[in-house]
Structure 1
Amino acid sequence: MEPSPFERHTSYQIITTAKALGHVFEQRLHRLGVNKSQAHVLLALASREAGAMACDLVDCVHVEPATMTRLLQGLEHQGLVRRSPHPKDGRASLVHLTDRGRELEATVRELTSQLDRELVAGLSPADLGEFRRVLAALRARAEQHVWQPALTT
Structure 2
Amino acid sequence: MDLPNHYAGPLDSPGYWLWHAALRWTAALTDVLRELELTPVQFFALGGLAWLTTERDSGVSQRALSDHTGLDASMLSRVLRGLEDRGLVRREPDIADARAHRVQLTGKARELLVRAKPLVVAADRRFFGGLANLGAVEFRQLLEQLTIDNAKGSAE
TM-score by length of 1: 0.78
State the identity as a percent. Answer: 28
Name the count of aligned residue pairs.
Answer: 145
Q: Does 1:20 align with 2:24?
A: yes
2:89–2:103 Cα contact (<8 Å) kept: yes
- CA 1:122–1:46 in structure 2 vs 1: closer, same or farther (change >3 Å)? same
Alpha-carbon distance in 2 for matches of 1:71, 1:88 = 23
Give me the whole-angstrom Cα distance separating, in 2, the residues matched to 1:64 and 1:82: 19
Would you identify which runs of 4 or more consecutive aligned residues in structure 1 move more than 3 Å? Answer: 84-93, 122-126, 144-148
The answer to whether 1:67 aligns with 2:71 is: no
Partner of 1:86: 94
Partner of 1:108: 116
Is residue 63–residue 73 contact of structure 2 (8 Å, CA) maintained in 1? yes
Please tell me whether residue 34 in structure 1 is matched to residue 38 in structure 2. Answer: yes
Q: Report the equivalent of 1:128.
A: 136
Report the 3-state secondary structure (helix = DSSP H, G, I; strand = E; otherwise coil) of the residue aligned with 1:95.
Answer: strand
Distance 1:98 1:107 in 2: 15
**Structure 2 unaligned runs (5+)?**
1-7
Equivalent in the alignment of 1:56: 64
d(CA) in 1 for partners of 2:118 and 2:20?
24
Q: Report the secondary structure of 1:111's partner residue.
A: helix
Query: Which digits, 9 at most, give the CA deviation of each residue in 1:38-70, with x for residues without a partner?
Result: 111100111212211122222223333332222
Could you tell me how far 1:7 is from its partner in structure 2?
0.9
Corresponding residue for 2:4? none
RMSD over equivalenced CA pairs, Å? 2.6
> Highest CA radius of gyration, 1 or 2?
1
